[in-house]
Structure 1
Amino acid sequence: MMSKFMMSCEESRHICDKAQYQEASTWEKIKFKCHLFICKVCKQHTITNSKLTLLIDKIKTSTLTSSEKEQLKSSFNKELQNHQ
């Protein structure tokens, strides 16, 4: 039987996802931190998941406007022609 502080790796991954979207309760976060202290696999999953979330957020904030896309396309075509 698991204690109040222990959880399965499956539950840990679920809470990891909830925590990144600020949907995890305080108690879930405490249990999750206890699990990460002893489980290296879930700790690595959490690190990877955090990096992925940061990359996705970075992509969302760095989208190009239509004029920037056209300018980039034009520059690309010019470079392509220069190398042919």
Structure 2
Amino acid sequence: MISCQEAAVICNKAQYREAKFLEILRLKFHILMCKTCSKYTKKNTKLTSLCEQARLNALSEKDKLDMKEKLYPKSKQE
């Protein structure tokens, strides 16, 4: 049986579809035996789902520079 630490790593890999088939089987077996890891897996799955639904957007580089110039205008030297 794998450790809880290994289960967490495999769980994270599985969320991003990076886990191998055998790793997923080991994780599922571990989850059957370990209530703590079962809860962790459920919370991790929920978090991933919420992040995907959020449709988060970041500012473009141009927008970042424009905002920076507005916040910190260059002082004019005479």
Fold match (TM-score > 0.5): yes
- Runs of 4 or more, structure 1, over 6 Å off, are none
Matching residue within 41, 45, 49 for 2:40: 45
- How many pairs are equivalent? 57
| TM-superposition CA deviations, 1:23-57 (whole Å, max 9, x none) | 00001001000000000000000000011001100
- Structure richer in helix, relative to its length: 1
1:74 aligned residue: none
* 1:8 aligned partner: 3
Match of 2:28 among 24, 33, 36: 33
Out of 39, 44, 55, the residue aligned to residue 60 of structure 1 is 55
Aligned residues: percent identity?
Answer: 42
Please list every run of 5 or more consecutive structure 1 residues that lacks an aligned counterpart in the other structure: 1-5, 64-84
- Letter of the 1:51 counterpart: K
CA RMSD of aligned residues (A): 1.1
- Matches of 2:10 and 2:41, distance apart in 1: 10
User: What is the DSSP-based 3-state SS (H/G/I as helix, E as strand, rest coil) of the residue aligned with 1:37?
Assistant: helix
Partner amino acid for 2:27? F
**1:60 to partner: Cα distance:** 1.4
TM-score by length of structure 1 reads 0.65
